[in-house]
């Protein structure tokens, strides 16, 4: 899909994709990578914000990649359409904070960073969360996870945060705990989760 859009933009200069590309080039030249937001690109292009996702990948693609990455972890999580719709309307989601790694038109990994402004105000802190950190199986063991986390910390700092938090299963099969410790995270709190298989009621 990405290649088709780029070709379309090149040969149909009045198309929406071309407007987005032109706007992105302009905004990047003015503000640099760190200072550019997708909402500003859409505003300057004169297109709806959703047009960026239509032409350059959708949140559903990101959701599917996240679901796949966690399939081997605690049996995965609810991947139903209802769960996706609920995920879409989470009140603190801000796609401008997310860091997504692409390999062609495939999402290799991502971090969905979140700032819970109400909690920060209530507790007098500036904390950002790395809410979902994932690398899909085919792209693991290449340093991508470390790069995504490092970029996320920069992104949260640029958004005014002074600390970052995340939750991790210490027995995660991908070795995530060690990755986070190398990135400078320290244990703040420990908890235990118990699970008991239940047979069908007869």
**pLDDT tens-digit series, residues 151-192:** 999 999 999 999 999 888 777 666 777 888 888 888 888 887
Which residues are CB-contacts of 177 (< 8 A; sequence separation ≥ 6)?
Answer: 168, 169, 170
Q: pLDDT tens digit string along 106-139?
A: 889 999 999 999 999 999 999 999 998 999 999 9
Radius of gyration of the chain (CA): 19
pLDDT value at position 175?
74
pLDDT value at position 94?
84
Supply φ then ψ for residue 173, to 5 degrees: -65, -15
**Domains by residue range for the chain, with CATH:** 1-57 (1.10.10.60), 58-188 (3.40.630.30)
* Edge-to-edge strand ranges of the sheet holding 106-115: 99-103, 106-115, 127-135, 163-165
The overall average pLDDT reported for the chain is: 80
Q: pLDDT tens digit string along 40-89?
A: 888 888 877 666 665 555 688 888 899 898 887 766 678 888 888 888 77
């Amino acid at each position: 899909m990405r290649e088709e859009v780029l070709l379309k933009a090149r040969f149909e200069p009045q198309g929406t994709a071309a407007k987005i590309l032109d706007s992105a080039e302009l905004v990047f030249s003015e503000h640099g990578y760190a200072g550019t937001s997708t909402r500003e690109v859409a505003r300057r292009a004169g297109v709806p914000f959703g047009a960026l996702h239509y032409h350059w990948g959708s949140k559903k693609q990101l959701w599917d990649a996240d679901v796949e990455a966690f399939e081997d972890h605690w049996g995965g999580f609810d991947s139903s359409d209802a769960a996706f719709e609920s995920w879409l309307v989470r009140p603190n989601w801000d796609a401008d904070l997310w860091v997504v790694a692409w390999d062609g038109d495939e999402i290799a990994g991502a971090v969905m960073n979140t700032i819970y402004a109400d909690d920060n105000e209530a507790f007098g802190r500036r904390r950002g969360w790395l809410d979902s950190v994932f690398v899909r199986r085919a792209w693991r063991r290449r340093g991508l996870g470390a790069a995504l986390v490092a970029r996320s910390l920069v992104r949260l700092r640029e958004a005014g945060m002074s600390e970052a938090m995340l939750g991790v299963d210490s027995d995660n099969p991908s070795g995530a705990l060690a990755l986070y410790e190398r990135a400078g995270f320290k244990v703040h709190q420990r908890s235990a989760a118990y699970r008991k298989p239940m047979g069908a009621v007869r």
